[in-house]
Amino acid sequence: MLVSGQKVLPKETLIIFDEVQDCQNVLNSLKYFYENANEYHVACAGSLLGIALAKPSSFPVGMVDFMQINPMTFTEFLMANGDDILVNYLNSMNEIETIPDAFFNPLYEKLKMYYITGGMPESVKTWTQERDVEQMQTVLSNILGAYERDFAKHPDPKDFTKISMVWKSIPSQLARENKKFLYKVVKEGARAREYEDALQWLVDANLVSKIYRSTAPGLPISAYDDLSAFKLYLVDVGLLRRLSLLAPSAFGEGNRLFTEFKGAISENYVLQALKNQFEATPRYWSVENPRYEVDFLIQRENDIIPVEVKSEDNVESRSLKKFKEKFEDRVKLCVLFSQRGEDFTFFHSASYSLVCIMDYILSWNIQMESSSDAFAIPLSAFSSKEEKDSFTKLVHGYTGKQF
């Protein structure tokens, strides 16, 4: 480089363009590198790259590979924290077995710490290297502040306030029993047409996840979206906690971190893990009079799988049972994530980035491409030895593991 004196060597030097959303010419230059200077390795990064690409402009279609960098998973947090023993233990499990307290209890405490730090790399680095909660709090506050300053980059200045209002309403939206997004929570009398552009800006910036209500567990999952009903979650559980002004002291208050905001923090965590593993964004399902709601529906290949998140001691799920009754011919698996119960055996899958516990399973397990964690199957889940044998056969078919 002319300034640094560093030589740029073909096939050896990696050229990195950062914050490319601020310079359209850099994006346009990628076509040149692809067609005329293919011997150079080029990478681009930008926190609002999705916004830049959403603008009508020239772009070298088909010449660029994309990679979405998400917050660190819980397993990656364990690795960064030096908890190799816990990670190795989880990776070593390949049978239905009870997780000893010697492993379960520290995993439970580490999960609470992950709820506090979240998966933003700078926040995790600050905690794992400095062990200073206040510093970590400052890092999260700075990240939130940087995001809010980015709101001003919206092409229409009048939308800055609207974006900020939608963003700051998310904790209130999730604190309600019915977490369906309501524009009147943003501002009394607000209408969708006034705020939908601001909301979409946050989605395009990958700062929030928009989860549509699904009317039925059909394929493809997007074909059954109710576009008038959706929920909003933050990109990271630690940012949600900080935006909600929930102090880290909740770490020492039993299971409070799991139960605050009607379990919304736990839901945000589960969604954060699921989004890393499935191509289709999860949905949710609900009906009224009486009200039933399943927190998430995920599409794995040609299967639709309902997922319920339970954060309190009562792990009974009326909604999962209702869903199973209503769509019995289409439901092959129901999953309920909860805290540890008293009467569980535990099943490991080299899959979810979750150390929540699977409390209820009706048919088979899912295999996904992520890190390892543990699940539980209630001893009462199988009505007969034949049913259990059928389950283990199906699991073997999906995971390649023999039990």
DSSP-assigned letters across all residues of 168-220: HHHHHHHHSSS----HHHHSTT--HHHHHHHHHHHHHTTSEEEEEEESSS-SS
Task: Give 278's pLDDT tier (boundaries 50, 70, 90).
Answer: confident
Residue/partner pairs of 4-11 with CB below 8 Å, 24 or more apart: 8/40, 10/39, 10/40, 11/39, 11/40, 11/41
Among 67, 99, 117, the domain-final residue is 67
pLDDT band for position 281 (50/70/90)? very high
Q: How far apart are CA 340 and CA 335, in angstroms?
A: 14
Q: Which residue has tokens 């190795």?
A: 88
State pTM to two decimals: 0.81
pLDDT at residue 2 greater than cutoff 90? no
One domain, residues 97 and 125: yes
Task: Measure the CA–CA gap between 162 and 54, rounded to whole angstroms.
Answer: 19
Residues 177 and 293 in one domain: yes
Mean pLDDT calculated for residue range 316-324: 85
Let me know whether 266 and 290 are in one domain. yes
Q: 36-71 burial by CB neighbour count: b if 16+ within 10 A, else e?
A: eeeebebebebbbbbbbbeeeeebeeeeeeeeeeeb
Pair (144, 7) in one structural domain: no
Token pair in block for residue 100: 């000893």
Element of type H or E holding 90: helix 84-92
- Give the pLDDT of residue 186: 97
| Same domain (yes/no): 184, 52 | no
């209702």: which residue's tokens? 322
Q: What average pLDDT is seen over the chain?
A: 80
**What are the tens digits of pLDDT across the range 95-141?**
656 678 898 889 888 988 999 999 999 999 999 999 999 999 999 99
- Of 67, 87, 103, the last residue of a domain is 67
**Do 110 and 6 have their domain in common?**
no
173 has a pLDDT exceeding 90: yes
**Cis-peptide, bond into residue 220, ω within 30° of zero:** yes
pLDDT higher than 60, residue 350: no
Question: What's the whole-number mean pLDDT along residues 6-14?
Answer: 89
Share of the chain above pLDDT 90, in %: 47
Residue 319: is its pLDDT beyond 60? yes
Q: Are residues 119 and 259 in the same domain?
A: yes
Residue 6 is part of which domain span?
1-67
Say how far apart CA 211 and CA 213 lie, in whole Å: 7
Greatest mean pLDDT range, 155-164, 169-178, 389-398: 169-178
More confident residue, 349 or 92: 92
Residue 350 structure tokens: 């080299």
Same domain, 80 and 213: yes
Quick one: average pLDDT of 335-356? 39
